[in-house]
Every structure is written in structure tokens, then in C-alpha cells.
Amino acid sequence: MKIRIKKQFRWFLGILGIILLLSASGSYYENQYCQKLSITIDDNGGNLFLDEKDIQSLLDSNSREFLLNTPYKFINTRHLEKRLRANPFVEDCIISKKLNGELAVWVRLVKPIVRIWNKQETFYLDNKGKKIPFSKKFTPHCLIFSTDEVNFDFENNENDKELLILLQKVTSDSFFRSQIAQIVRFRQGFKIYLQLSESEIDFGSIEDWETKLRKLEILCKYILPRKGWNAYEKISLKYHQQVVCEYAKR
């Protein structure tokens, strides 16, 4: 009986000790000051839209408030994360307080897949169709898509949905990335311009785009290297099971 009481008493002392340690560490944690700001940037493949100074400026609310030497209990990490995510060049972020007084900030930047050109403005789209504004600080190398369209509806408009899938395909495929320089949308459909050719390629409508891309691949791999990249003035992929080529005028 005495042995059993001793064991229970030891358990009680152990639990009490843990509670006291947690209480002490919590008190120390809340009274800790932000002594250092550690910023890690994942540029998502070299997309240098923001640097450490930009991130620090966003965290300091453009010099209206400063994090260094501020007690942890006055630093709301969720609020700071929300502030960073509100920036159009930030895809995601995580902010954590460390016991040594270091505020660790991890930020992943956006990755554009295409640059949109129209008469009114130029901007980028990411892989999900999210709009990314033009940056004077950094210009990523990506596919150019020219159109008179200003607003896209990738959730509800079926043609826009298919367009986004097409753009995802040609920008994620290393072969098409190396071949296609620009896609232009007209009322009648799309035209494609290649990196190595001056030929105008009529892609037609968005309908059956996968078959047309396969024809484009055959054209770039086997026909144009053999006949000459500028042998044809116009090429059409829009006809069923055909690639129609019109020789360039000599």
C-alpha cells in the first residue's frame, strides 16, 4: 500500500514539475523581445519580385511600426502573415517566434507562367490563373499572350477554363516552352509564333487543342527542321487531321 502511494506521489510531483516548467517557459517566452529578424525567401525558381528589404518593409508596415526590440506579447504573427499575403508577389508565408529572440520569417514568392499583353495594360498569370501585376523591379522570362481581353473568368467561363489548361500545358512542357514565343488571340481563334521561325501559325479555336498541340509538335520536330524554319509563310493546324502549309514568297 505504501509503495503504491509513493508511486502516485512521484507521478504527482512529475506532473507538477512539468506544469511549473511550462508556466516558467511561457512567461519567459512572452517577456522575450524580438532581437533578430531572420528572413528566408523561396523565389520559386528565380522570380525575384521581392528581396529581404522589401519583406522587412512590409513587416514594419512601411516604417510605421518596428518589430526589433518589441516584446513577443505585442507581436501578432497571424496579423503579420496576413499582411504579407496581401502583397500580390507573395504566394505564401510562415512566421514563428523562437525562444532565442529570433523572429523567423519564411516567404514563397509567386511564379508567373504567362505575361498578358493588351491595349490597356500588361500583367502576369500564375498556374492557377491568379493575376500578378507588372513589376518594374523584375521581369520574368515567360510566354507572351496577346489579347484584347482584360478580365478572365477561369472558374465559370468554359472557354477561359480550357485556355488556362492550354497555357498550363505549354508552359509546363519543356519542349513547348523552348519553341513557342507568343500566342495571340483574335476573334477567329489563336495564332502562334515560334522562337526560331517567322511563320504565322493559325491554331484556330480552343476546341480540340490537344490534337493541335500534337500537330505543332510534329511540325517543330520533323517538318520545319527539314524544310527550313522560314520555308512557310503561313501554317494552319485548325483542319481535321491536316497541317496546311503555304510556302513563303521568294
Q: Where are the domains of the chain?
A: 36-109, 112-247
What local confidence, expressed as pLDDT, does residue 164 receive? 94
3-class DSSP state of 165: helix
Per-residue confidence (pLDDT) for residue 29, from 0 to 100: 58
Torsion angles phi and psi, residue 111, rounded to 5 = -125, 105
CATH superfamily of 112-247: Cell division protein FtsQ/DivIB (3.40.50.11690)
Q: What is the pLDDT of residue 28?
A: 52
Q: State the pLDDT at residue 23.
A: 47
Please tell me the predicted confidence (pLDDT) of residue 69: 84
pTM of the model: 0.80
Q: Which long-range contacts does 170-179 make (Cβ < 8 Å, 24+ apart)?
A: 170/143, 170/213, 171/113, 171/114, 171/127, 171/142, 171/143, 172/113, 175/217, 175/220, 176/213, 176/216, 176/217, 177/143, 179/216, 179/220
Q: Which strands make up the sheet holding 143-146, listed edge to edge?
A: 131-133, 122-126, 112-117, 143-146, 180-186, 189-194, 200-204, 232-236, 244-247
Domains 36-109 and 112-247 share a fold: no
Cell numbers that stand for 146 in this block: 496577346
CA distance 60 to 208: 51
The pLDDT value recorded for residue 100 is: 87
Q: Which residues pair with 115 in a beta bridge?
A: 124, 144
Residues of the chain with pLDDT under 50: 1-3, 9, 13, 16-17, 20-26
Q: What is the CATH number of domain 36-109?
A: 3.10.20.310
What pLDDT was estimated at residue 11? 56
Max CA distance (Å), the chain: 109
